[in-house]
């Protein structure tokens, strides 16, 4: 079986089965207990795993990557996930296909490559569920873990699977599992750092509870759904037992804690004896890390759980955790003899402080503390511990500060009491902080005062001047300490005082001579608009009238409105504020875009610009691409294209905008073109599908507003037909209104011009269509009669040659087909196309971006130059903004979305080995190229050596195809060519009809020679095939002539309709997947009735595998912009990093 048929890694096996099952599966493999592993070669495996008895395991890996596995052991159930037996088999499968030959006995018969349409994509349904008593469980990609967890927590009761008669005695008679009782016990253990830690112990049982002697092992068994023996009389068995939802949730949390520590131990290569999840020498216990404690407490307090707390005497009681004060008392008294103060502390040393857990254990319960209180209790406990006394002596000189700073904190911890003579000295009253503001010229001065009833304090005074409210006296105070009024102590609200002072300290106010001062404009603004709104919540603010006038206030916020003018050519942005003239409005708007916080009005008032009403203009300034010179006053005029990205007018940041009626209608039409209800031409109405009608109306809507756009539908969806419908409609409108008709110009690759002519003859024979191609005389004959022609179709080279003539004509519409031809704005082709004058412009391409977003700009610069403006502006624009701007002007539909009836496309990658001589050549050439390239890159010569490096890479790819492509003397064969010929032979026998693509015409010639020798009739098309002949070859193939069509990837990857094929073989890979998508789209398109099988041939162990990886990265290049799978790509666009990856240097 091919390695690609086992699309899982060992990491994914670990995710599927869980750590425990995976670890035990590894052990089963090491012990050689996986036996009789067999495979049918297409993803179905069967094996026996020996254990207490043999268990049967079956595994299916289908083409889409879905993995299904079954085992008849009692541990396998969807409740828990995959068991160790499945893990062992998956590990063995991975080993067999990663290291061929390490095991024997694997049967891999060759399976038919080409399946019937009925069987393709069905996986392995030939093994239906009803043939096994077990129901399958499928896991796909990242859904594995989430699906397992959802089922784990949602399922309330387990329904045991029937695993055969050998298990009949183990299944409960009533079909229900026995609900186990669980007892959780929280204990404290002393650690090496003289700290305490919490640990958890468990008891489990049915009627009688048994101690879990190895808690880590038990948790692993629960996670892996395996049995865990307690005694001879009782064994935990997941097929017989279950836990209540509450118990299970707590057990799962303990499993998480255990696994987290296990993962850390593995990652740091620690020995199990260093694991902190076990207390030393006791496997019964799981240590709870402090970081996990808070969430665990919330779980343990839920009803329905039996959680106990071990007491100091060894007894247990129900676990209780709550926020409360400690059972500690602080008693203050005064010694008459010494005048010292004493504080007796009772109960603190009976508490167990656990600061890292943020709690204290006291009186058999857990008391949860705030972080600051935890720190205070811890420091106080240490102080008493070192004093070896429960008394704290306080000298008289410190009593004031002690009462002020310490007592409030102690009151939060426990009960504080004091002798009456001490209590009588205390004055406790509410703080009133007051700030007085006055203006002194351009200086703002402030005075801060703290008021406690009749006492006024000046905290900023250098001498700490304080006085009574009536000014009768003063006293000294140490900083924020308590002033002494005779024998009275004022208890100040230091917490609130500090808050006020911190706010002022963070502001632009500076302390000056006991007061506050702000002078510079920025300082004034900070105080008025930042400090005062914050400070008014904790202080009283008194300002003079002149200070109040410095703050501009308005009853009505500014008004921002956007609309179009009557011509729909200009976008008008208006900004209005009461009593503001144009000069003031311009100054305000410029201040906003300059990111200023305020605007100083002429009379000196500050206008804050930090409000949301002002910032909405800043958002518009950015989104509309304004410049400062656009702002002349309150009305700003811009090209209407600047405002077309606002499809969602309710998005954040735009709620304050008033949208004018005309602009709303325009934006609504961009969002829903069908609302304009343009009538489909009568002759085409029965032909167009619904999505094609939508495309037609989208083109008509853009033309109505004189906008351009890119029709970027998936290949095969009829971009040509939609364009013809638009052209017919415009022609009929001109006829009906009597307006002079101007011709339509279509520029297309040479291979498609006659296809356009054919389509016009088929769907719009009334139009006079001419192809301006061929030699100069033929083109001149067409161009000389332009006034008689409705549509001119020309090629890109012809346009360049005849540009002088085309410059003289104004066309009604310019249609640029396969617009990726103008992706390079510097090319002559792009510059020629952009010189064409037309009223309307459209581009048609399935790949608007190939390698760089600048290519998108180049196309829009031709069809709608006003959308982005200059190239530099576009390059600097964020991708999300580009996506918003292009959304209305790129119409992209995928086949899978609009052609529901289109058959499936089955994609396969087949690998082949290089022949021995071929491999020797490849290895030698690769080594030389790696050496030369590494030297060039190290010397910084990447740009100079790019062509040489890319040529070398092309040689490697040619060696993978067939060495004779550039080594004439090579006489050996090619592994890939032999594989192709086998595929062709089998496909022909199956009646398949094939398209075989290669970018190398040399390999196509070689394939043609080999098939001709085998008398196989075929068609051949490359860049030298004339345009008219291409059309005829396609017609004959679709009518059933010949079974094989050899096509050059670049010459035939676009513009062909080959729905007569049902198989596409890509002989070699291209750098970006879009060219291959275009090639497969020749067959997998509208009109196809059969399943299309796409086969990519890859030489194993070569640069082609690296190209596959590169393709995956390229697929997402423009996902953010148009959500498509575009990007043709060329080797010249490879970066230095990509080249290093390809050559593994």
3-state class (DSSP) for residue 465: coil
pLDDT of residue 147: 35
Dihedral angle sign, alpha carbons of residues 898, 899, 904, 907: negative
For tokens 């089955």, the residue is 906
Q: In angstroms, rounded to a whole number, what is the distance separating the alpha carbons of residues 1003 and 986?
A: 20
Of the pLDDT bands very low, low, confident and very high (cuts 50, 70, 90), residue 39 is confident
What's the CA dihedral at 871, 873, 874, 879 to 10 degrees? 160
Using the predicted structure, report yes or no on whether residue 827 has a pLDDT greater than 90: yes
Q: For residue 710, what pLDDT is reported?
A: 95
Tell if the pTM clears 0.75, that is, is over it. Answer: no
pLDDT single digits (tens) 915-954:
888 888 988 988 888 888 888 777 766 666 778 888 888 8
The Cα–Cα gap between 990 and 378 comes to 84
171 pLDDT tier (thresholds 50, 70, 90): very low
Q: What's the rounded mean pLDDT across residues 848-865?
A: 87
Q: What is the mean pLDDT of the chain?
A: 80
Name the residue with higher pLDDT: 883 or 1074.
883
Helix (H) or strand (E) holding 679: none
Burial class (CB in 10 A: 0-12, 13-18, 19+), 752: buried
DSSP 338-350: T--EEEEEESSTT
Q: Name the least confident of 170-184, 299-313, 873-887, 978-992.
A: 170-184
What is the mean pLDDT of the segment spanning 226-242? 91
Q: Work out the pLDDT band at 563, boundaries 50, 70, 90.
A: confident
Cα separation, 726 vs 720, whole angstroms: 10
In what side-by-side order are the strands of the sheet with 1092-1099?
905-912, 1092-1099, 1063-1066, 994-998, 1044-1048, 1018-1021
pLDDT at 263 over 80: no
Bridge partners, residue 468, by sequence: 455
For the segment 344-371, what is each residue's pLDDT rounded down to a tens digit?
A: 999 888 888 888 999 999 988 999 998 8
Q: Tell me the two tokens of residue 373.
A: 């209180």
Average pLDDT over residues 954-973: 88
pLDDT in tens, 754-786: 889 888 998 999 999 999 988 888 899 899 888
The pLDDT of 965-978, averaged and rounded, is: 87
* Whole-number pLDDT of residue 1108: 77
- Write down the pLDDT at residue 799: 95
Q: What is the pLDDT of residue 154?
A: 36
Q: What is the pLDDT of residue 146?
A: 35
For the chain, the domains span 3-170, 178-319, 322-424, 429-548, 559-596+625-669, 673-898, 905-1143
Backbone angles phi, psi at 380, to 5 degrees: -65, -40
Q: Which of 463, 464, 459 is nearest to 449 (CA)?
A: 459
Q: Are 979 and 1007 in contact (CB under 8 A)?
A: no
The answer to whether the CB of 1098 falls within 8 A of the CB of 1104 is yes
Of all residues in the chain, the percent with pLDDT exceeding 90 is: 30
Confidence of residue 18 (pLDDT cuts 50, 70, 90): confident
Please tell me the number of Cα atoms within 13 Å of 611 on its side-chain side: 15
Q: pLDDT tens across 89-148, in order? A: 998 888 877 654 443 333 333 233 233 333 333 333 333 333 333 333 333 333 333 333
Q: Is the dihedral of CA 398, 401, 403, 407 positive or negative?
A: negative
Fold of 673-898: Rossmann fold (3.40.50)
Exposed, middle or buried: residue 944 (CB in 10 Å: 0-12, 13-18, 19+)? exposed
- Residues 1027, 342: Cα–Cα separation, whole Å: 109
- The mean per-residue pLDDT over the stretch 48-70 comes to 78
Segment among 268-282, 584-598, 674-688, 1014-1028 with least mean pLDDT: 268-282
Contacts of 993 (CB under 8 A, 6+ apart): 1037, 1043, 1044, 1060, 1061, 1062, 1063
What is the chain's length? 1145
Question: In the prediction, which pLDDT does 487 show?
Answer: 64
pLDDT band with cut points at 50, 70 and 90 for residue 212: very high
Alpha helices in 454-611 (DSSP H): 494-506, 521-526, 532-535, 545-548, 582-593
Other C-beta atoms closer than 10 Å to the C-beta of 909 total 16
Across 902-911, 946-955, 961-970, least confident range:
902-911
* Distance, CA of 737 to chain centre: 52
Region 905-1143: CATH code = 3.40.50.300
Reference 795, options 852, 840, 833; nearest CA is 833
Predicted local distance difference test score (pLDDT) of residue 1113: 62
What was the pLDDT predicted at 144? 34
Alpha helices for 434-570 (secondary structure H):
494-506, 521-526, 532-535, 545-548
Give the model's pLDDT for residue 812: 95
pLDDT band at 157 (very low <50, low <70, confident <90, very high): very low
Helix or strand (DSSP H, E) at 186 = strand 181-190
Cα–Cα distance list, 15 to 142, 145, 495 (Å): 10, 7, 53
Mean pLDDT of 406-433: 86
The region of weakest confidence among 7-11, 196-200, 741-745, 1004-1008 is 7-11
Please indicate whether the domains covering 673-898 and 905-1143 agree at the CATH topology level: yes
Cβ(1060)–Cβ(1040) below 8 Å:
yes
Report percent pLDDT > 70 for the chain: 81
At 735 the three-state DSSP class reads: helix
Beta-bridge partner residues of 970: none
Cβ atoms 702, 864 nearer than 8 A = no
Identify which has the larger pLDDT, 42 or 998.
998
Query: What is the structure's pLDDT at 1131?
Result: 43
Least confident range of 47-56, 302-311, 312-321: 47-56
634 DSSP assignment = S
- Residue 467 pLDDT exceeds 50: yes
Q: Is the pLDDT of residue 690 over 70?
A: yes
Lowest mean pLDDT among 196-200, 1014-1018, 1111-1115: 1111-1115
The alpha-helical segments, DSSP class H, found in 638-769 are: 661-671, 690-704, 719-737, 753-763
Higher pLDDT, 579 or 149: 579
162 pLDDT more than 80: no
Q: What is the 3-state secondary structure (H, E, C) of 259-271?
A: HHHHHHHHHCCCC
Instruction: Calculate the alpha carbon distances from 85 to 6, 66, 94, 158, 459 in Å.
Output: 18, 19, 14, 21, 77
What one-character DSSP code corresponds to residue 474?
B
Task: For residues 362 and 412, give the distance between their C-alpha atoms in angstroms, rounded to a whole number.
Answer: 16
d(CA 934, CA 402): 74
Q: What number of H helices and E strands is found in the chain?
A: 38, 52
**In this predicted structure, what is the pLDDT of residue 947?**
80
Query: How crowded is residue 100: how many other Cβ atoms within 10 Å of its Cβ?
Result: 11
């Amino acid at each position: 079986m091919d390695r690609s048929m086992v699309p899982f890694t060992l990491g994914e096996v670990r995710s599927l089965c869980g750590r425990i099952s995976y670890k035990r599966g590894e052990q089963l493999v090491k012990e050689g207990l996986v036996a009789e592993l067999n495979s049918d070669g297409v993803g179905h495996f069967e094996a026996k795993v020996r254990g207490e008895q043999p268990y049967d395991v079956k595994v299916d890996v289908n083409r889409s990557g879905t993995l299904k596995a079954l085992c008849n052991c009692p541990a396998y159930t969807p409740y828990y996930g995959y068991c160790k037996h499945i893990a062992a088999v998956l590990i063995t499968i991975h080993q067999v296909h990663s290291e061929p030959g390490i095991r024997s006995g694997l049967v891999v018969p060759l399976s038919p490559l080409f399946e019937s349409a009925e069987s393709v994509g069905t996986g392995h349904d030939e093994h239906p569920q009803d043939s096994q008593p077990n129901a399958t469980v499928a896991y796909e990609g990242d859904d594995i873990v989430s699906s397992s967890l959802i089922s784990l927590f949602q399922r309330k009761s387990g329904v045991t699977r029937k695993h055969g008669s050998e298990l009949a005695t183990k299944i409960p008679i009533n079909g229900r599992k026995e609900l186990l009782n669980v007892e959780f016990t929280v204990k404290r253990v002393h650690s090496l750092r003289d700290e305490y830690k919490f640990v958890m112990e468990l008891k489990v049982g049915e009627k009688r509870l048994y101690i879990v002697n190895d808690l880590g092992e038990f948790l692993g068994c629960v996670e892996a759904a395996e049995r865990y023996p307690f005694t001879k009389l009782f064994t935990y068995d997941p097929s017989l037992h279950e836990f209540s939802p509450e118990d299970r949730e707590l057990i799962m949390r303990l499993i998480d804690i255990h696994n987290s520590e296990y993962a850390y131990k593995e990652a740091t290569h620690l020995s199990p004896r260093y694991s902190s999840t076990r207390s030393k020498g006791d496997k019964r216990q799981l240590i709870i890390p402090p970081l996990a404690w808070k969430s665990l407490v919330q779980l343990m307090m839920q009803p329905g759980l039996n959680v106990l707390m071990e007491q100091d005497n060894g007894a247990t009681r129900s676990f209780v955790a709550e926020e409360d004060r400690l059972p500690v008392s602080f008693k203050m008294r005064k010694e008459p003899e010494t005048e010292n103060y004493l504080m007796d502390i009772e109960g603190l040393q009976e508490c167990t402080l656990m600061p890292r857990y943020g709690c204290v254990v006291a009186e058999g319960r857990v008391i949860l503390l705030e972080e600051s209180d935890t720190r205070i209790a811890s420091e106080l406990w240490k102080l008493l511990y070192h004093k070896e006394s429960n008394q704290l002596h306080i000298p008289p000189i410190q009593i004031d500060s002690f009462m002020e700073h310490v007592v409030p904190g102690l009151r939060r911890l426990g009960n504080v009491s004091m002798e009456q003579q001490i209590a009588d000295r205390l004055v406790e009253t509410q703080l009133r902080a007051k700030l007085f503001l006055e203006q002194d010229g351009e200086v703002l001065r402030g005075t801060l005062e703290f008021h406690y009833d009749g006492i006024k304090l000046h905290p900023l005074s250098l001498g700490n001047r304080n006085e009574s409210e009536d000014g009768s006296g003063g006293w000294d105070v140490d900083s924020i300490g308590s002033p002494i009024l005779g024998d009275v102590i004022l208890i100040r609200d230091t917490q609130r005082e500090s808050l006020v002072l911190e706010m002022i300290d963070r502001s632009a106010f500076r302390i000056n001579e006991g007061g506050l001062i702000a002078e510079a404009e920025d300082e004034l603004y900070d105080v008025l608009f930042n400090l005062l709104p914050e400070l008014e919540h904790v202080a009283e603010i008194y300002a003079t009238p002149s200070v109040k006038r410095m703050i501009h206030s308005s009853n009505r916020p500014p008004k921002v409105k956007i609309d179009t003018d009557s011509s729909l050519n200009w976008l008008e942005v208006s900004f209005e504020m009461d009593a503001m003239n144009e000069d003031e409005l311009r100054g305000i708007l410029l201040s906003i875009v300059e990111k200023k916080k305020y605007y100083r009005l002429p009379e000196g008032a500050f206008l804050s610009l930090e409000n949301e009403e002002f910032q909405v203009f800043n958002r518009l300034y950015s989104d509309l691409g304004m410049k400062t010179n656009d702002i002349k006053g309150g009305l700003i005029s811009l090209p209407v294209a600047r405002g077309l990205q606002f499809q969602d007018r309710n998005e954040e940041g735009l709620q304050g905008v008033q949208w004018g009626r005309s602009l709303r209608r325009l934006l609504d039409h961009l969002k829903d073109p069908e609302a304009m209800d343009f009538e489909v031409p009568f002759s085409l109405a029965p032909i167009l599908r619904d999505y094609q009608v939508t495309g037609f109306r989208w083109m008509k809507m853009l033309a109505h507003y004189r906008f351009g756009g890119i029709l970027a539908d998936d290949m095969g969806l009829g971009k040509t037909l939609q364009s013809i419908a638009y052209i017919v409609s415009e022609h009929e409108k001109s006829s009906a209104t009597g307006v002079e008709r101007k011709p339509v110009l279509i520029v297309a690759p040479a291979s498609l011009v006659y296809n356009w002519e054919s389509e016009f003859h088929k769907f719009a024979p009334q139009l006079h269509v001419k192809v301006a191609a061929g030699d100069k005389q033929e083109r001149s004959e067409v161009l000389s009669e332009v006034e008689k022609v409705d549509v001119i179709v020309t090629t890109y080279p012809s346009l360049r040659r005849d540009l002088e003539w085309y410059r003289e004509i104004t066309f009604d519409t310019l249609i640029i087909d396969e617009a990726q031809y103008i992706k390079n704005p510097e090319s002559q082709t792009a510059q020629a196309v952009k010189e064409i004058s037309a009223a309307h412009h459209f581009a048609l391409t399935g790949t608007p971006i190939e390698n760089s977003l600048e290519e998108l700009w180049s196309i829009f610069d031709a069809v709608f130059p006003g959308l982005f403006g200059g190239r530099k502006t576009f390059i600097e624009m964020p991708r999300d903004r580009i996506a918003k701007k292009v959304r209305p002007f790129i119409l992209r539909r995928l086949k899978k979305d609009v052609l529901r009836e289109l058959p499936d496309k089955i994609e396969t990658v087949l690998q082949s080995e290089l022949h021995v001589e071929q491999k020797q050549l490849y290895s030698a050439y690769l080594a030389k190229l790696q050496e030369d390239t590494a030297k060039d890159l190290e010397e910084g010569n990447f740009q100079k050596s790019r062509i040489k490096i890319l040529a070398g890479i092309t040689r490697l790819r040619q060696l993978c195809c067939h060495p004779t492509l550039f080594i004439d003397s090579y006489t050996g064969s090619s592994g890939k060519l032999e594989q192709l010929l086998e595929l062709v032979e089998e496909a022909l026998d199956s009646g398949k009809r094939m398209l075989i693509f290669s970018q190398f015409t040399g390999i196509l010639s070689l394939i043609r020679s080999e098939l001709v020798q085998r008398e196989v009739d075929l068609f051949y098309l490359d860049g030298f095939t004339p345009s008219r002949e291409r059309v005829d070859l396609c017609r004959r193939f679709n009518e059933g002539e010949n079974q094989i069509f050899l096509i050059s990837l670049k010459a035939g990857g676009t513009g062909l309709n080959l729905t007569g094929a049902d198989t596409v073989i890509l002989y070699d890979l291209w750098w970006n997947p879009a060219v291959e998508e275009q090639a497969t789209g020749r067959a997998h398109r509208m009109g196809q009735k059969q399943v299309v099988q796409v086969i990519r041939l890859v030489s194993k162990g070569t640069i082609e595998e690296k190209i596959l990886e590169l393709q995956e990265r390229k697929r997402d290049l423009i996902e953010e912009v148009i959500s498509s799978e575009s990007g043709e790509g060329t080797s010249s666009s490879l970066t230095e990093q990509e080249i290093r990856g390809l050559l593994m240097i």
